[in-house]
Amino acid sequence: MSDPVPASVARPQLSTGLNLGINYAPLLLFFAANKFGGLFLATGVFMAAVAVAVAISWWKIRHVPPMLLLTFAIVLIFGGLTLWLQDETFIKLKPTLIYGIFASLLIFGLATGRPTLRLVMDGALPGIDAAGWIKLTRNWAIFFVAMMVANEVARRMLTTDQWVNFKVWGVTLAFFVFAIAQGPLMTRHGLKFGDEPKA
Short-list 91, 134, 128, CA closest to 110: 134
Other residues' Cβ atoms within 10 Å of the Cβ of residue 112: 9
Residue 63 lies in a domain: yes
- How many folded domains does the chain comprise? 1
Residue 199 lies in a domain: no
Share of the chain above pLDDT 90, in %: 59
pTM above 0.75, yes or no: yes
Q: Which domain holds residue 163?
A: 7-188
Residue 1 belongs to some domain of the structure: no
The answer to the question of residue 196 being in a domain is no
Residue 193 forms part of a structural domain? no
Please indicate, yes or no, if residue 138 is contained in any of the structural domains. Answer: yes
Cα distances from 19 to residues 70, 116, 166, 179, in angstroms, run 16, 20, 22, 15
Q: What integer pLDDT is reported at residue 123 of this predicted model? A: 62
Give Dmax over CA atoms of the chain in angstroms: 55
- Of 101, 85, 99, 108, nearest to 152 (Cα)? 99
Do residues 109 and 130 make contact, with C-beta atoms less than 8 angstroms apart? no
Mean pLDDT of 145-172: 96
Q: What is the pLDDT of residues 94-110, one digit of tens each?
A: 999 999 999 999 999 99
Is 17 inside a domain boundary?
yes
**Is residue 74, in this structure, part of any structural domain at all?**
yes
